[in-house]
Amino acid sequence: MRRVTRRLMLLDTASLYFRAYFGVPESVRAPDGTPVNAVRGLLEFIDRLVKDHRPDDLVACMDADWRPQWRVDLIPSYKAHRVAEERELGPDEEEVPDTLSPQVPVIEAVLDALGIARVGVPEYEADDVIGTFTGRATGPVDIVTGDRDLYQLVDDKREIRVLYPLKGVGTLQLTDEAWLREKYGVDGSGYADLALLRGDPSDGLPGVPGIGEKTAAKLLAEFGDLAGIMAAVDDPKAKLTPSQRKRLDESRPYVAVAPTVVKVAGDVPLPDVDTALPHAPRDPAALDELAARWGLGGSLQRLLSTLHV
């Protein structure tokens, strides 16, 4: 029976090439000695993902701006600890290992030559691109990311799940609403509220002091969502401890802006791209040149064979 709806796979590309970089030895090098461990590791990842999950459409989502100013304006500490260099114009430079930065343009060139859709939009993170593609999808969506922030998009009714790599991409945690309820006590829609209450040091989000993950989950179970919790602060009959009431009340300025920062955007102006999984390279000559220049060898050939099937 012919499948009516197409399965879309969205890659949080930076998350995956960072994992590839740290998971594949730096001794994997091009003929001139340049490390290509992230490039080859990412190709291996994509090969395994396509083999195991057979998407109809595939998009490599990129960070055109890893720390958008509109988020920083609301919470100045947002990702501040990751800034390597501040810039007057354009995004600040992110702290990235010296031998990874030169591999990113190679990754982009290889994806383009293969014909795998690659989408980054100025002033938005890859998460926002993923959120917008997910919102527009009419079929099932697999989001591949090592970033738990995207758990907020999980939706069983729409068949949206997160594939979270535990070891390479051979072992993936299939994150659906049942898994989220078991682990965090919330559904996908509640995860953003949980995250902003709990805070996230890796993103520079302070959270509400004294409200950890378990307390946040209990408050969400009791009051439904963030708005319900803040309404309870003003209700003397609500079941809040004096310290919870005080801390939430004092955190009103943070709580007022945090949802805009934590929740992925769903209205990114996406370019018109062909997202269909390619079965042959878009630019075979360019791909041959890249393969020879960077010594992509078996990693690229395996992916080409998988796409050809």
Return the pLDDT at 2. 47
> Which neighbouring-strand residues pair with 119?
61
All residues at 6 or more sequence positions from 275 whose CB lies less than 8 Å from its CB, including other chains = 8, 57, 58, 59, 117
Residue at token pair 């319900």 = 228
All residues at 6 or more sequence positions from 92 whose CB lies less than 8 Å from its CB, including other chains = 67, 83, 84, 85, 86
Residue 97: count of CB within 10 angstroms of its CB: 13
All residues at 6 or more sequence positions from 305 whose CB lies less than 8 Å from its CB, including other chains = none
Return the pLDDT at 93. 77
> Which neighbouring-strand residues pair with 12?
61
pLDDT in tens, the chain (309 residues): 445 679 999 999 999 999 999 999 999 999 999 999 999 999 999 999 999 999 999 999 999 999 999 999 999 999 998 887 777 767 777 888 889 999 999 999 999 999 999 999 999 999 999 999 999 999 999 999 999 999 999 999 999 999 999 876 678 999 999 999 999 999 999 999 999 999 998 899 999 999 999 999 999 999 999 999 999 999 999 999 999 999 999 999 999 999 999 999 999 999 999 999 999 999 999 999 999 999 998 999 999 999 987
Q: Are 71 and 96 in contact (CB under 8 A)?
A: no
Return the pLDDT at 243. 95
141: three-class secondary structure by DSSP: strand
134, 175, 252, 262, 307 from 6: Cα distances, Å: 13, 20, 43, 29, 16
Q: For residues 36 and 39, what is the distance between their CA atoms, to the nearest angstrom? A: 5
187, 212, 213, 246, 259 from 219: Cα distances, Å: 14, 11, 10, 14, 17
Q: Are 78 and 71 in contact (CB under 8 A)?
A: yes
Compute the Cα dihedral for 170, 33, 291, 283 and give only its sign: positive
DSSP 143-207: EE-S-GGGGGG-BTTTTEEEEEEEETTTEEEEE-HHHHHHHHS--HHHHHHHHHHH-BGGGTB--
Return the pLDDT at 183. 94
Compute the Cα dihedral for 50, 51, 52, 55 and give only its sign: positive
116: three-class secondary structure by DSSP: coil
Return the pLDDT at 278. 97
Single out the residue of 78, 77, 48 nearest to residue 65, CA to CA. 78
Q: Determine what percent of the chain falls in helix, strand and coil, rounding each to the nearest 5.
A: 50, 15, 40
All residues at 6 or more sequence positions from 177 whose CB lies less than 8 Å from its CB, including other chains = 154, 155, 156, 187, 188
Mode of pairing for the β-strands spanning 8-12 and 171-175: unpaired
Hey, what amino acid is at 121? V
Q: For residues 298 and 304, what is the distance between their CA atoms, to the nearest angstrom? A: 10
pTM over 0.85: yes
